[in-house]
Amino acid sequence: MLKKVQIFKALDIEIKKQKGPAAVKDAYKGHHSLKEELSQPGITVIAETAGGNPLRGQVREAYRASTHAKSLVENGARAISVATDRFLFYGEDKHLSEVRSAVKVPLLRHDFIFEEYQIEESKILGADAVFLMAALLETERLSALSRLARAKSLDVIVEIASDADLKKALEADADIVCVLGRDLDTWEPKWEEALALMKKVPQSRCLRILEAGVCTLQQIQQLEGMGVHGVVIGDALLDEFYPGKRLAQILSGVEVARKPVKAKGKQEAQQPPQAKGSRPEKAQAEAAEGSKTKTGGAVPTGKAQSTTQSPQPARKGKKEFPMEHINLPDETTNPVETTPEPAAPTVKKVAAKKPAAKKPAAKKPAAKKPAAKKPAAKKPAAKKPAAKKAAPAKKAAPAKKAAPKKAAAKKPAVKKAAPAKKAAPKKAVAKKPVVKKAAPAKKAAPKKVVAKKPVAKKAAPAKKVAPKKAVAKKPVAKKAVVKKAAPAKKAAPKKAVAKKPVAKKAVAKKPAAKKTTKK
Ligand SMILES: O=P(O)(O)OC[C@@H](O)[C@@H](O)c1c[nH]c2ccccc12
């Protein structure tokens, strides 16, 4: 199990190095010496906040470590161990800095530490002490990391699970040794073995701590009787939504039936108990209010109050630890900040969106596939309707056409002239003889037709002119007129181009016609 963790951890650390530790803003920066606390008379209860452990899997979903730490300190804890490992203990780095801001007792960072970066990170996150696991480190590495930690005023707790580990710890000049009374393969507690190993740790050189699934007052009192300085309680506190309540029960010797350890993997998340009136844990604390001791609980220093059941019997046989939930952080996420996402739901969500995706839910990367968004890509297609909207524009275009009609409407006069131009140039021609003179104008006009168009505006008057068409017929008469008018105005033919206006003149000439009658 630890080998797997080592691999995951190494990758996790690489990514974290790129992001750097994200300490909680304005975290309390005070330092509380674990050594000083352990040196006080009586046994120090070190309560642990975690999201789960290798034996139970994840017990707590995103929980507020600071709330848990506060309730633990209020109910007898004299130091808090924060499990920040996210692979096996479902913790988060940020829990450490959150707890730092919430309580003013020594804080221990419980994680699988292999690299200097993690020591630096622990200091920034607000730890007062760090665990170094001898089973994971060679003596030289253990010594180097210990020196770096002490240089940063961090107390070093060397965690040992065997005689070999103890040897490494002593060679690395460890001054705090924690006996891990659990099988590193099955994570089952090994109470008797733990006590045997504890007895080998030299009391003169080292402050001694034990963690071994402790869950009863009797166990605590037995350790205190051996001169053990501290005890870590983790698993026993996982069951309770308010862990302080459970701690108060343990320290007051109240027998609590342990929830059966469910099969590995995720357990259903704890639900807050239905609180009736005052908070349950306070009630317990009051009940536990006996003689105050170093533990802050009802446990008299080194004194037993009542007999309690023996620890759970260790189960035999090798266990594979659930790692399915482990997803290596990808580059984009900051492991310091994020909690492992529930890959399945995410993938399911994606799968749900992709009907085609009947393949078994792919690994997390699938979650990255924007494929589910691809259909959305069709949305632009939806713009096509927009294009259709453009179609209305086309309708508008017809409107334009309509406009032309209007224009046409304007032009009809012209059109009448214009269609003459457009629709039936021939006709136009046919008509043109009628307006021969106008025609040359028109012939020249094609170029000028455009020009004419403005003229066409003038031509609007052309409507007037159009009626004049009739008049135009008259132009013959006009011509006569024109003719007559012509000698008068030889230059006129040149003006023929401008004749039309002349046409007007022609109209003007009518009176002239009268003149002839006078003649
Ligand atoms: O035996 P307990 O009461 O559950 O004590 C917690 C202990 O198992 C846990 O703190 C622990 C042991 N080794 C670790 C490594 C990383 C994080 C946490 C741990």
Give the up-direction half-sphere exposure of residue 225: CA atoms within 13 A in the CB hemisphere.
9
Question: What's the mean pLDDT in 32-50?
Answer: 97
Is 190 a pocket residue for ligand 1 (Cβ < 6 Å)? no
Atom of ligand 1 nearest to the CA of 180: 12
Q: How far is CA 464 from the centre of its chain?
A: 75
Is 47 a pocket residue for ligand 1 (Cβ < 6 Å)? no
The torsion region of residue 232 among left (phi > 0), alpha (psi -120 to 50) and beta comes to beta
Q: Is the pLDDT of residue 111 over 90?
A: yes
Compute the C-alpha angle 169/175/177, nearest 5°: 55
Tell me the CA–centroid distance for residue 86 and ligand 1, in Å: 13
Q: Whose CA is nearest to atom 6 of ligand 1?
A: 234
Question: Residue 150: how many CB atoms within 10 A of its CB?
Answer: 14
* Confidence band for 19, pLDDT divided at 50, 70 and 90: confident
Q: Is the pLDDT of residue 417 over 50?
A: no
Question: What's the mean pLDDT in 57-79?
Answer: 95
Q: What does the DSSP 8-state code read for residue 189?
A: B
Is 157 a pocket residue for ligand 1 (Cβ < 6 Å)? no
Tell me the CA–centroid distance for residue 211 and ligand 1, in Å: 7
**Portion of the chain with pLDDT greater than 90, in percent:** 42
Atom of ligand 1 nearest to the CA of 235: 4
Q: Is the pLDDT of residue 401 over 90?
A: no
Q: Is 26 exposed, middle or buried (0-12, 13-18, 19+ CB in 10 A)?
A: exposed
Over residues 317-369, the pLDDT tens digits come to 555 565 566 555 454 444 444 444 444 434 334 344 444 444 444 444 444 44
Q: Element (H or E) spanning 460, and its range? A: helix 438-488
Over residues 147-194, the pLDDT tens digits come to 999 999 999 999 999 999 999 999 999 999 999 999 999 999 999 999
Is 240 a pocket residue for ligand 1 (Cβ < 6 Å)? no
Is 57 a pocket residue for ligand 1 (Cβ < 6 Å)? no
Q: How far apart are CA 97 and CA 66, in angstroms?
A: 9
Q: Whose CA is nearest to atom 1 of ligand 1?
A: 213
Question: Residue 406: how many CB atoms within 10 A of its CB?
Answer: 13
Atom of ligand 1 nearest to the CA of 110: 17
Over residues 117-139, the pLDDT tens digits come to 999 999 999 999 999 999 999 99
Atom of ligand 1 nearest to the CA of 237: 3
CB contact at 8 A, 475 and 506: yes
Is 89 a pocket residue for ligand 1 (Cβ < 6 Å)? yes
Tell me the CA–centroid distance for residue 217 and ligand 1, in Å: 19
Neighbour-count burial for 198-234, b at 16+ CB within 10 Å, e otherwise: beebeeeebbbbbbbbbbbbbbbbbbbeeebbbbbbb
ipTM value, please give it.
0.93
Is 311 a pocket residue for ligand 1 (Cβ < 6 Å)? no
Q: What does the DSSP 8-state code read for residue 502?
A: H
Residue 62, SS3 per DSSP? coil
Among candidates 385, 356, 350, which has minimal Cα distance to 368? 350
Among 29-33, 193-197, 433-437, whose mean pLDDT is lowest? 433-437
Is 90 a pocket residue for ligand 1 (Cβ < 6 Å)? no
Atom of ligand 1 nearest to the CA of 84: 17
Is 248 a pocket residue for ligand 1 (Cβ < 6 Å)? no
Task: Give the mutation target among 211, 247, 258, 321 for probing the ligand 1 site: most ligand atoms within 8 A of CB.
Answer: 211
234 versus 11: the higher-pLDDT residue is 234
R_g over Cα of the chain: 48
Q: Whose CA is nearest to atom 9 of ligand 1?
A: 234
Q: What does the DSSP 8-state code read for residue 264?
A: S
Q: Which two tokens stand for residue 226?
A: 């051996």
Q: How far apart are CA 270 and CA 256, in angstroms?
A: 17
Question: What's the mean pLDDT in 307-312?
Answer: 41
Atom of ligand 1 nearest to the CA of 81: 10
Q: Is the pLDDT of residue 36 over 50?
A: yes
Is 241 a pocket residue for ligand 1 (Cβ < 6 Å)? no
